[in-house]
Structure 1
Amino acid sequence: MSYKKAVLFPCNPATTRGEATRLSSSKDKIVYTNGRTIIIRDLKNPSLVTSYSGHVQNATVARISPSGYYCASGDVTGTVRIWDIVGEDQTLKGEYKVISGPIKDLEWDGESKRIIAVGDGREKFGHAFIADSGSSTGEIIGHSKVVNAVAIRHQRPFRAATGGDDATIVFHQGAPYKYDKTIKTHTKFVQDIKYAPSGDHFASVGSDSKIFLFDGKTGDMLSEITDSPHAGSIMACSWSQDSKLFATSSVDCTVKLWDVETRKAVNTWTVGSGVPYQQVGNTWTEGDEIVSLSMSGDLNIFDKRTGDKPVRVLQGPSKPITAAAALQDSSFIAGLGDGRVASFSGSEYSYIGGTGHSTLVSGIAVSAGGKIFSAGYDDQVREIEPNVSSFVQASFSTASQPRSIAIAADSTVFVAEINGVEAIRSNQRVFELQPKFTPSAVAASGSVVADQKVRLYNWDGKALKEVAVLDSNKGAISALAFSPDGSLLAAGDSSGKVILYDAKERKLITSRWTFHSGRVHSLAWTADGRHCASGSLDTHVYIWSVEKPTRNIAIKNAAAGGVSAVFWLAPSKLASAGADGCVRTWDITFHA
C-alpha cells in the first residue's frame, strides 16, 4: 500500500479583532497564515496551493522574496524561518530568533538578500539581518512601543520605514540600516506602511483613519489624503504595479482606491455591515487583483475598474475544522470551531445559511438517504437542507453537551452526550439512555448502536437494549465506526490505539493497530470494508488493513495541530481535515 498527495483545499486567513492581518502576494499568488500553517494559493488556478507547517508556534506573517524562490515567515515567538518554495521538500534555508516576542511584520529588500522583521520584543522591536547567514545588517531603533509594520524601498539607495503603537513612523537609511528620523504625523496606532513598486513614494495608514504620502528617498511628508475619508481604523494598504494607485482597507467595512497624483478617491467598495465585514488586511497582486480580508475570514477580490462590490469572494474555514463528512460527487461538509458549517462542491466553499450553531460543531452525520445532521457545543442538533444550502429552521435541544452523532438505518439520530445518549426522530426525543458512565462516542449500523467501552445495543425503534460489552480498549473511547455492512467495528481511544472487533460475533479481531501516539479523533471505512483510516491528535493519519493487520499506510504530519476528521471521497481517495482548517486529499494505492 502507498499514497501520494492530491488536492489541498486551503483554509482562509485567521483574524483577530482589533488587529491587522498580514496578506502578501507574488505574481498571482497570495500568501497568508492560519495557526502554524502558511498558505500560498494561486488566484488564477485554484488547484495550485502550497502549505507549510514548519513553525512550532503560530505563524503571524509570511512573504515571498522578490526572486520568487524563498518565503520568509515569522511567528509568535519572534522566530523567522526562510524556506524554499520551488522544490517539493520545502528545504529550510535558515531559522533565526530575531526578537523576544511576536513578529508583526517583515519585509525583503529588492535584492532578496536582507530582511527586516518587526514586532513586540523586550530588548528591541525590530531586527535587520542577512537572509543567508542571519548576521545583522544595521539596527531598527526609535520606537517605544510595539512596531506593527515595516516597508523597504526595493531600489538603491535602500530606505526603510517602520510604524508602531507609539503613533510614530521611523525612517531608516541603508544598507546597513540606521536611524534617520522620527515622523509624527499620526495620532493613533500606525497599522500599515507600504512602499510603491517604483520606490518614489510610501504610504502610511492608522487607527486615526488618516492616510499620509511620503517621499520614498527622503521620508519627507508630501501630503495627507483627506478626500472621502474612511470612518474607522485603516488596517492595511497596498499599491498597484504602476505605482499610480493604492488601496486601503478599513474596519468601516469599505475598501477605497486612491489616485496618487490627484490625491482623490477613485472608487469605494462597501463589503457589508457589521463586525464580520470589517476589512483587516489587503494585498494587490501583479495580476492586478485587489484582495481584501474580512474579519469573517472571507477573501474579497476587487477589479479596480468596476463595480461597488467584490467581483469574487473566496470563502473557507478560518477556524479549526472539528467535524467533517463526505457527500456525493466528491463534495464534503465541514463543521468549524466557531460554529459555522461549510460545504465544498466543485471548486469553492460556501457557508450553510440560516440559524446555525453558536459555538464549536462537535459532530456531523450523513444518512444513507442523504440527510445531514450536525451537533454543537451550544447543545443543539440541527438538520441541514438536502441541497446543502441552509439549516432547517427547527432544531433539537439536547439534555447535555453533545460529543458525537450517528444515524441508524431507520433515520433515527443518536447523540452521545456527557450525561447520556438520546435518540431523536423528527426533532423529537424518542428515547433517552442514562447510563452510569459518561458516553464519549457513538456509531450506528442497522439496529446496532455502540458507545463508550465499547457497549453494543440493539435498537428496535423504541428503546436501546444492551447486548454486549467489548473492553479491549485501555483508554477512553474517542471514535467509533462500523464497517459499511455492519460486521466490523473499529474503536479508537485516548491512548492512540484502534481496536478492531467483530460486531456480529462480539469478539476481538486485532489489537495491533497501535501506531498513533495521541487521541484518535476520527475513523472512516472504505466502501468494501477492507480498510479503515484513522486520524489523530498526533497529526498523523493511518490506513489499516483488515486482511493483513500488520500492514498500514502512514501519512505523517497530515495536519498541523492534529487531525480531527478523516473521510473517503472515492474508493481510493482519502480526505483528512484538522486544526489548521485545511482539507488535504490523498490518492491511495492498495496493493493486492
Structure 2
Amino acid sequence: MSFKKGALYPANPATARGQPTKLSSSKDKIVYTNGRSVFIRDLSDPAVSIAYSGHVHNATVARIAPSGYYCASADVVGNVRIWDTLGDEQTLKGEYKVITGQVKDLEWDGESKRIVAVGDGRDKFGHAFMFDTGSSTGEIIGHAKTINAVSIRQQRPFRAATAADDATIVFHQGVPFKYDKTIKTHTKFVQDVRYASSGDHFASVGSDYKIFVYDGKTGDTLGEFTDSPHTGSVMSVSWSPDSKSLVTSAADGTVKLWDVETKKAQITWTLGSGVNHQQVGNTWTAGDHIVSLSISGDLNVFDKRIGDKPARILYGPQKAITSAIKAPSSDATFIVGTADGRVLSFANEYEYVGGDAHASLVAGLSASPSGTVHSVGFDDRLREIDGKVYTPASFSTAAQPKAGVAVSGDSTVFVAEVESVEAVRSNQKVFDLPLKYTPSAIAASGSQVAVGGEDQKVRLYSWDGKALSEKATLEGNKGTVSALAFSPDGKHLASGDSSGKIALFDAAAHKLVTSRWSFHSGRINSLSWTADGKHCASGSLDTHVYVWSVEKPMKNIAIKNASPGGVNAVFWLKDGELASAGADGSVRVWNVTFHA
C-alpha cells in the first residue's frame, strides 16, 4: 500500500476586528496566513495551492521574494522564517528573531537579498537584515509606536517607508537603511504604505479615512485623494502592475479604484454594510486581478470592467474544520463544518450552506440514506441541509451534543448528549435513552447504533423504529472512546480512543477482531471506511492519518503530518481518494494505492 499527495483546498485568511490583514501576491498567486500556516493560493485553480506549516506560533504576514524562489513569513513572537517555494519540501533557508513582539509586516528589496520587518517590539519596532546571513543592513528608527506597514522601493537607489500607530510615516534612505525624515500627513493610525512597482511613487492610507501619494525618491508629499473619500478607516492600499492606478480597501465596506494622475476615484465597489463586509486587506496581482479581503474571510476578486460587484468571491473555512463528510448529492464533493459554526459545501469552489447557520462549533455531520445531511452544533441545535441550503427545520437538543450525530437506515437521527441519546425523526423527538455512563462517540448502520463512553466501553443497541434496546457491551479500548465507524455492510465496527488505539470489532458476533491498530500517539478524532469495507482510515490529534487493512491487520499506510495542529476528520471521496481536514482549516486529498 502506498500514497501520493493530491489536491490541497486551503483555508481563507485569518482576520481580526480593527486590524489590517496583509495580503501579498506573486504573479497570479496570492499569499496570506491563517493560524500557524502560510498559504500560496492559485486564483485560477483552488486545488493548486501550497501550505507551509513550519511556524511554531501564529503567522502574521508572508511575502514572496521578487525572484520567486523564496518566501519570508513572520509570526506573533518576532520570528522571520525564509523558506524555499519550489518543490514539495519547502526547505528552511533561515530563521531570525528580528523583534521581541508581533511582526506586522515585512518587505523584500528589489534584489531579493534584504528584508525589512516591522511590528510591535519592546526594544525596537523594526529591523533590516540580509536574508541569507541575518546580518543587519541598516536601522529602522523614528517611530514612537507600533509600525503597521513597510514598503521598499524596488530599484536603486533603495528607499523604505514605514507607517505606524503614531500617525507618522518615516522615510529611510538605503542601503544601508537609515533615517531620512518623518512625514506627518495623517492625523490617526497609518494602516498601510505601499510603493508602486515603477518606484516613482508610494501611497499611504490610514484610520483618518485619508489617502496620500508621495515622490518615491525624495519622500515629498505630492497630494491627497479627496474625490469621493472613504467613510471608514482605510486598511490597505495596492498599486496596479503599470503603476498608474491604486486600489484601497476600507472598513466602510467599499473598495475604490483610483487614477493616480488625476487623483479621482474611477470605480467604487460596495460589498455591503455591517461588520462582515468591512474590507481589511488587498493585493493587485501581476495578472491584473484585484483581490480584497472581507473581515469574514471572503476573498473578493474584482475585474475593472465590472463596476458594480466582485467578478467572483472565494469562500472558505476561516477556523479549524471540526467535522467533514463526503457529500451525498452529486452537485457537491464534500461538506465541512467549522469551529465558528459555519458549514460549507465544496464542488469546484467552496460555498456557504445557505440559511441560518450554527452559532458555535459544528460538533458533527452525518448523511441519511435519502441524501439529507444533518448537522449538530454546540449551540444545541440539530439542523437539516438539503443540497446546499438549510431547511427551515430545526430541533433543539436537551443538552449539548458532545459526541456528535448518527443516522440509522430508517433516517432516524441519533444525537449523543451529556447524559442521554435522543432519537429524532422529522424534527420530532421519538425516543430518549437515559445513560448511566457519559457518551463520547456515536455511530449507526441500518438498525444498529453504537455508543462509545468515557468508561472505555462501546455499547451496541438495536433500533426497532420506536426504542433502543441494548444488545452487547464491547471492550478493547484503552481510553475514552472518541470515534466510531461501522463498515458499509455493518459487519465491522472500528472504535478509536483517546490513547490513540483503535479496536476492530465483529459487530454481529460481538467480539474483538484485532487491537493491533495502535500506531497513533494521540486521540483518534475520526474513522472512515472504504466502500468495500476492506480498509479503514483514521485521523488523530497527533497530526497523522493511517489507512488500515482488515485482512492484514499489521499492514498500514502512514500519512505523517497530514494536518498541522491535528486531524479532525477523514473521509473517502471515492476509491483510492482519501481526504483529511483539521485544525489548519484546510482539506488535503491523498491518492491511496492498495497493492494486491
TM-score interval, normalised by the smaller of the two chains: over 0.9
**Quick one: distance in 1 between partners of 2:578 and 2:533?**
14
- Deviation of 1:45 after TM superposition, in Å, equals 3.4
Q: Partner amino acid for 1:361?
A: V
1:56 alignment partner in structure 2: 56
**Quick one: distance in 1 between partners of 2:558 and 2:15?**
33
**Quick one: distance in 2 between partners of 1:139 and 1:558?**
41
Q: Partner amino acid for 1:350?
A: E
**What whole-Å deviation, never above 9, does each CA across 1:493-525 have from its counterpart, x for those lacking one?**
111111111111111111111111111110000
- Deviation of 1:116 after TM superposition, in Å, equals 0.5
2:544 alignment partner in structure 1: 540
**Quick one: distance in 1 between partners of 2:521 and 2:140?**
44
**Quick one: distance in 2 between partners of 1:309 and 1:269?**
6
**Quick one: distance in 1 between partners of 2:336 and 2:485?**
18
- Deviation of 1:342 after TM superposition, in Å, equals 0.3
- Deviation of 1:262 after TM superposition, in Å, equals 0.6
**What whole-Å deviation, never above 9, does each CA across 1:380-430 have from its counterpart, x for those lacking one?**
000011xx2211112000011112100000111001111211110000111
2:528 alignment partner in structure 1: 524
Paired residue total = 589
- Deviation of 1:296 after TM superposition, in Å, equals 1.1
Q: Partner amino acid for 1:357?
A: H
2:244 alignment partner in structure 1: 244
**Quick one: distance in 2 between partners of 1:412 and 1:151?**
59
1:400 alignment partner in structure 2: 399
2:20 alignment partner in structure 1: 20
1:89 alignment partner in structure 2: 89
- Deviation of 1:86 after TM superposition, in Å, equals 1.3
2:371 alignment partner in structure 1: 370
1:463 alignment partner in structure 2: 467
2:424 alignment partner in structure 1: 424
1:297 alignment partner in structure 2: 297
- Deviation of 1:53 after TM superposition, in Å, equals 0.7
Correspondences of 1:354-365 after superposition (within 5 Å): 354-365=355-366
**Quick one: distance in 1 between partners of 2:434 and 2:100?**
52
Identity of aligned residues (%): 70
- Deviation of 1:76 after TM superposition, in Å, equals 1.1
Correspondences of 1:87-236 after superposition (within 5 Å): 87-236=87-236
2:275 alignment partner in structure 1: 275
| Moved segments of 4+, more than 3 Å | none
TM-score (norm 1): 0.98
Q: Tell me, what secondary structure is at the counterpart of 2:39? A: strand
**Quick one: distance in 2 between partners of 1:87 and 1:240?**
29
- Deviation of 1:320 after TM superposition, in Å, equals 1.1
**Quick one: distance in 2 between partners of 1:316 and 1:528?**
32
Correspondences of 1:65-80 after superposition (within 5 Å): 65-80=65-80
**Quick one: distance in 2 between partners of 1:471 and 1:182?**
72
Q: Tell me, what secondary structure is at the counterpart of 1:276? A: helix
Q: Partner amino acid for 2:390?
A: F
- Deviation of 1:586 after TM superposition, in Å, equals 0.5
Q: Tell me, what secondary structure is at the counterpart of 2:276? A: helix
**Quick one: distance in 2 between partners of 1:45 and 1:363?**
29
2:343 alignment partner in structure 1: 341
In structure 2, stretches of 5+ residues that fail to align are none
In structure 1, stretches of 5+ residues that fail to align are none
Q: Tell me, what secondary structure is at the counterpart of 2:148? A: strand
**Quick one: distance in 2 between partners of 1:356 and 1:225?**
40
1:572 alignment partner in structure 2: 576
**What whole-Å deviation, never above 9, does each CA across 1:37-87 have from its counterpart, x for those lacking one?**
111111133332111111111111110100011111011121111111112
**What whole-Å deviation, never above 9, does each CA across 1:292-338 have from its counterpart, x for those lacking one?**
00111111111123321111111111111111100245701111111
**Larger CA deviation: 349-358 vs 371-380:** 349-358
**What whole-Å deviation, never above 9, does each CA across 1:246-265 have from its counterpart, x for those lacking one?**
00000100000111111111
Q: Partner amino acid for 1:359?
A: S
2:510 alignment partner in structure 1: 506
**Quick one: distance in 2 between partners of 1:468 and 1:420?**
18
**Quick one: distance in 2 between partners of 1:475 and 1:146?**
48
The alignment yields a C-alpha RMSD, in angstroms, of: 1.0
2:434 alignment partner in structure 1: 434
1:351 alignment partner in structure 2: 352
